[in-house]
Amino acid sequence: MEDLEHILAEQPFFAGFSAEHSRLVAGCARNHRYDAGEYLFREGESADEFFLIRHGQVALEMVAPGRTPIVFATLGEGEIVGASWLVPPYRWMFDARAMALTRAIGIDAACLRGKCEADHHLGYEMMKRFTPILVQRLHATRLQILDVYGKR
Amino acid sequence: MNQPRLITTCDGLQALIDALVSRGYRVLGPVVRDGAIVYDAIARVADLPAGWTDHQEAGRYRLERRGDGALFGFVVGPQSWKRFLHPSVETLWTMRQGEDGVRISSAATTAPKFAFLGVRACEIHAISIQDRVLRDGPYPDTAYAKRRQDAFIVAVNCGQAGGTCFCVSMRTGPKANSGFDLALTELLDGASHQFLVEVGSEAGAELLERVPHHSATEAECAAAAAVVARAVSQMGRSLETDGIKELLQSNPDHPRWDEVARRCLSCGNCTMVCPTCFCTTVEDHSDLTGASAERVRKWDSCFTLDFSYLHGGSVRSTGRSRYRQWMTHKLASWFDQFGTSGCVGCGRCITWCPVGIDITQEAAAIRSSLNTGKGEHHGGS
Amino acid sequence: MAAAPQPDPFVPQLYRVTRARRELADTATLQLVPLAGPRPHFEPGQFNMLYAFGVGEAAISISGAADAMSFLHTVRDVGAVSGAIAKLKTGATVGLRGPFGTGWPVAAAQGADIVFVAGGLGLAPLRPAIRQVLADRRRYGRVVILFGSRNPKDMLYRRELEQWRQRLDVDIEVTVDHADADWHGSVGVVPALIRRATFDPRDTIGLTCGPEVMMRFTVSALLEAGIAADRIYLSMERNMKCAIGLCGHCQFGPAFVCRDGPVMRFDRIAEFFAVREI
């Protein structure tokens, strides 16, 4: 049984986390392994966990009738999958599929939300790390919409 | 050059023109036409605008009669010598497709030698500025270089300043110190009408042998100096050049650009009359069969919307950015590109702007707003 | 026409299209050989002015050379001139002036890590530099090639990308803005690839080419990764008429793109690069 606390501490996302906070988060964490083609979660499901990819690649995609799912982003090692666990009604808004063998740490959303409510310092440390990711994703999405390589 | 000062008369001036003509020069000088003083072919002293002067202000130009018969009693009009040295239309090459394939040949240049009579000090500087751009770069315009080499320049020192002149600020006049073959200063004192002559080159000295002249007296030299001093004291405008490059390049988002944009029509008049503006475009023409084609180069202006066209739109789509481009290029970027200012203080852009935009006023406005703490201190986005 | 020692830079030389290959729906690569005389020497990053008879000229980057006697030009149909050139068939004659402009610092980058970041058609001007580096691989540290495309169908030089990927001494990552059903690679923008790439930012040269928006966010990402501003190079583009510094059209701030560019070191243009409508 791997020491999750150590594994989390090694992740760039948790850089600078205090030992106490690391322990709190590790208490909500568990290991996952997904084979190529397996889904981490599906649109509409309850956003119970969010994931930190230790190894592998995950495609974020949306299904539309009559066509194969459209991948709008891919995430890799060290990246966080999922933000809907932060926002009520805590439901996933897209599918996340492992493109190759993927190992990820899943962090229980309800567990972490509860601990953040109890310890606002922990909450703020999580927000400080989460917000830049969201901003970056939003920016990247906008750039993709801009279709910069297209012809005018 | 530290040459002796000489004197010649109006008859001497005619002899000068005749000597140039006899040597195969096409003599060009100021003439009155359509209510302005423009540069065109002259054969006789009588072709010159004797007794005329110009009254210039922002957006205004008007000829007036003088009280005397001065031949050069005006400053500069809407044209500059660039219309001869850097013509507004020029064929670069022609192409023919025949049985033996395609042949492209440079257009043969059979331009006559030009003799410019009446070149002002600011204009001499303008010509040398264009020399740096068109002749002294890694890819010289050989046609320009040839016209330039063959050109004979008779300068005239200004005896008065125009309402929009600021050559003193730009250190380009009113006295011509070099860049000419001969330089004349008109001395008109009652009935006495003569010219102080300075020789600026061997070609000038040689031509002067065909012109009756004698040595100038001390009094005549002093009179010539007084003529120049009078022009110096009358400058209609001034431009503070200290740090102007930094000032404009550091303030691309100054609110003054928005302010001038409200007035500027982007008509491009300023670029047409400016003696240093050099921008051109090319047009490719062919006949209907495509068997022959030619490329023609024409004057262009950075004020046109198409000037910066790229990938379906223009980089400078607003009038604001185009005015900023022109002024920043003229007073600032020119230093980075060619080592000098692009402006010679001739005032034409001020006179010929239909809404009277004044480059000296715009520069002063930006400068003073920063000095007093108003406006933005930093440009950039 | 007799071969002159230094051809008149105002007059197009005649070249024949010896190969025309369709790359994408609207993009073709032409192989051009001079009708007379040698093909001039060029630096990767430079461009030629290609002339379509009676239509006009366009500035097209040199995208490679099949041999010492030819130029390769990858042309996208975006207007009358480029359209006429892109549609040329083998055997056609075209006019060419050049090469002009500055090249990529391929020699100066020796000894360092080198990161190529290409966007869309921007891979074309970078390709001769990549080929030159790979041909002299041992003189460089890590070689990283990052490429962003609109979608998998519009991916330029796909086969060559795959060949590069097969090499063991090159890191290559490719991403698309919009995936299709058959795409199993990365989906997203190039900065994400930069964040994931491995190189020593203290000793890396970054070379980037693509649409200006893409180069803006690429330069941001390269700076964020720790590469110094004087070790990042871009290829700029502006309206060109003469290509020899005489017509004024290509001015970009105080720089003439035809003469001070198209390859420009970022620290030299940083002050005015982001000024709107400069």
The reply to whether A104 falls in a domain is yes
Architecture in CATH for domain C113-273: 3-Layer(aba) Sandwich (3.40)
Neighbors of chain B by Cβ distance (3+ pairs < 8 Å): A, C
Q: Which residues of C touch B253 (CB under 8 A)?
A: 275
Mean pLDDT value of segment B38-64: 97
Q: What is the pLDDT of residue B12?
A: 96
For residue A1, give both structure tokens. 């049984």
Residues C74, C62: Cα–Cα separation, whole Å? 8
- pLDDT per position as a tens digit, C60-82: 999 999 999 999 999 999 999 99
Q: What is the pLDDT of residue B290?
A: 76
What chain B residue is nearest to A148 in terms of C-alpha separation? B311
Q: Counting beta carbons within 10 angstroms of the beta carbon of residue B222, is it exposed (0 to 12), middle (13 to 18) or buried (19 or more)?
A: exposed
**Residue C215 sits at the chain A interface (C-beta within 8 Å):** no
Mean pLDDT value of segment C195-220: 96
What chain B residue is nearest to C274 in terms of C-alpha separation? B381
Q: Does C188 contact A74 at a Cβ distance shorter than 8 Å? A: yes
Torsion angle of C-alpha atoms B107, B108, B113, B119, degrees rounded to 10: 10
Q: Measuring CA to CA, how many Å separate C71 from each of B103, B246, C15, C39, C234?
A: 21, 42, 10, 8, 22
What chain A residue is nearest to C119 in terms of C-alpha separation? A149
Domain boundaries, chain C: 13-100, 113-273
**Residue A67 sits at the chain B interface (C-beta within 8 Å):** no
The whole-angstrom distance between residue C218's C-alpha and the CA centroid of its chain comes to: 15
Q: Does the pLDDT of residue C105 top 60, yes or no? A: yes
Mean pLDDT value of segment B63-84: 96
Q: Which of C1, C51, C248 sits opposite B302 (nearest CB)?
A: C248
Domains held by chain A: number: 1
The reply to whether A151 falls in a domain is no
Q: Does the pLDDT of residue B375 top 90, yes or no? A: no
Mean pLDDT value of segment C113-138: 98
Chain pair A-B, CB pairs under 8 angstroms: 4
Residues B164, B157: Cα–Cα separation, whole Å? 17
Neighbors of chain C by Cβ distance (3+ pairs < 8 Å): A, B
Q: Which of C26, C149, C192 sits opposite A140 (nearest CB)?
A: C192
Q: Which of C120, C185, C189 sits opposite A143 (nearest CB)?
A: C189
Q: Which of B282, B333, B381 sits opposite C254 (nearest CB)?
A: B333
Q: Which of C51, C246, C278 sits opposite B141 (nearest CB)?
A: C246
User: Is the backbone peptide bond immediately before C262 cis, with ω within 30 degrees of 0?
Assistant: yes
- pLDDT per position as a tens digit, C25-51: 999 999 999 999 999 999 999 999 999
Residues A103, A106: Cα–Cα separation, whole Å? 10
Kindly report the CATH number that applies to the domain delimited by C13-100. 2.40.30.10
Mean pLDDT value of segment B309-326: 94
Residue ranges of A 50-79 with Cβ closer than 8 A to chain C: 57, 59-60, 67-68, 70-74, 76-77
Q: Does B102 contact C53 at a Cβ distance shorter than 8 Å? A: yes
Q: Which residues of C touch A71 (CB under 8 A)?
A: 179, 183, 187
What are the residues whose beta carbons fall under 8 Å from the beta carbon of B14, sequence distance 6 or more? B44, B45
Q: Which residues of A touch C214 (CB under 8 A)?
A: 143, 148-149
Residues B160, B172: Cα–Cα separation, whole Å? 15
Q: Does the pLDDT of residue B285 top 80, yes or no? A: yes
Q: Does B290 contact C54 at a Cβ distance shorter than 8 Å? A: yes
Q: What is the pLDDT of residue B58?
A: 97
Task: List the single best residue of A53, A62, A145, A149 to mutate versus C (max C Cβ within 10 A).
Answer: A149
C5 confidence band (pLDDT: 50, 70, 90): low
Residue ranges of C 219-278 with Cβ closer than 8 A to chain A: none
Q: Which residues of C touch B381 (CB under 8 A)?
A: 274-276
* Residue C49 near residue C10, CB atoms below 8 Å: no
- pLDDT per position as a tens digit, B27-37: 999 999 999 99
**Residue A152 sits at the chain B interface (C-beta within 8 Å):** yes
Q: Does the pLDDT of residue B379 top 70, yes or no? A: no
The reply to whether A52 falls in a domain is yes
Q: What is the pLDDT of residue A66?
A: 77
Q: Does the pLDDT of residue B2 top 70, yes or no? A: no
Residue ranges of B 36-95 with Cβ closer than 8 A to chain C: 92-93, 95
Q: Which residues pair with A59 in a beta bridge?
A: A74, A97
> If residue B245 lies in a helix (H) or strand (E), which one and from where to where?
helix B244-249
Residues A78, A114: Cα–Cα separation, whole Å? 24
Q: Which of A73, A148, A151 sits opposite C214 (nearest CB)?
A: A148
What chain C residue is nearest to B290 in terms of C-alpha separation? C54
Mean pLDDT for chain C overall: 95
Q: Does C120 contact A148 at a Cβ distance shorter than 8 Å? A: yes
Q: Which residues of C touch B106 (CB under 8 A)?
A: 8, 10-11
- pLDDT per position as a tens digit, A8-45: 988 989 999 999 999 999 999 999 999 999 999 999 89
Mean pLDDT for chain B overall: 94
Q: Where are the beta strands (DSSP E) in chain C?
A: 13-24, 27-34, 47-52, 56-64, 71-76, 93-100, 113-119, 143-149, 171-176, 186-187, 204-209, 232-235, 251-252, 255-256, 263-265
Q: What is the pLDDT of residue B244?
A: 98
**Residue A142 sits at the chain B interface (C-beta within 8 Å):** no
Q: Does C277 contact B318 at a Cβ distance shorter than 8 Å? A: yes
DSSP state of B330: I
Residues B58, A105: Cα–Cα separation, whole Å? 74
Going by C-alpha positions, the residue among B166, B346, B330, B352 that lies closest to residue B270 is B352
Confidence (pTM): 0.91
**Residue B329 sits at the chain C interface (C-beta within 8 Å):** yes
The reply to whether A107 falls in a domain is yes
Q: What is the pLDDT of residue B1?
A: 45
The alpha carbon dihedral of C55, C57, C61, C62 has a sign of: positive
The secondary structure of chain C in percent helix, strand, coil, rounded to multiples of 5, reads: 25, 30, 40
- pLDDT per position as a tens digit, A73-116: 999 999 999 988 888 889 999 999 999 999 999 999 999 999 99
**Residue B151 sits at the chain C interface (C-beta within 8 Å):** no
Q: What percent of chain B has pLDDT over 90?
A: 87
DSSP state of A91: B
Q: Which residues of C touch B (CB under 8 A)?
A: 1, 8-12, 14, 35, 51, 53-57, 78, 93, 95, 237-239, 241-242, 244-249, 251, 253-256, 259, 271-272, 274-278
- pLDDT per position as a tens digit, B246-271: 999 999 999 999 999 999 999 999 99
* CATH code, domain carrying A39: 2.60.120.10
B227 CB neighbour count, 10 Å cutoff: 20
**Residue C210 sits at the chain A interface (C-beta within 8 Å):** yes
Start-to-end Cα distance in chain C: 42
Q: Which residues of B touch C275 (CB under 8 A)?
A: 252-253, 379-381
CA distance C157 to chain B (A): 22
CA distance C188 to chain A (A): 5
Q: Does the pLDDT of residue B372 top 90, yes or no? A: no
- pLDDT per position as a tens digit, C233-265: 999 999 999 999 999 999 999 999 999 999 999
Q: Measuring CA to CA, how many Å separate A114 from each of A117, A119, A120, B183?
A: 5, 9, 10, 93
Task: List the single best residue of A71, A142, A147 to mutate versus C (max C Cβ within 10 A).
Answer: A71
Q: Where are the beta strands (DSSP E) in B190-225?
A: 192-199, 214-215
Q: What is the pLDDT of residue B112?
A: 85
- pLDDT per position as a tens digit, B135-163: 999 999 999 999 999 999 999 999 999 99
Q: Which residues of B touch C271 (CB under 8 A)?
A: 249, 380
HSE, side-chain direction, 13 A CA sphere, residue A113: 14
C4 confidence band (pLDDT: 50, 70, 90): very low
Residues C157, C64: Cα–Cα separation, whole Å? 12
Q: Which domain holds residue A68?
A: 4-146
The reply to whether A49 falls in a domain is yes
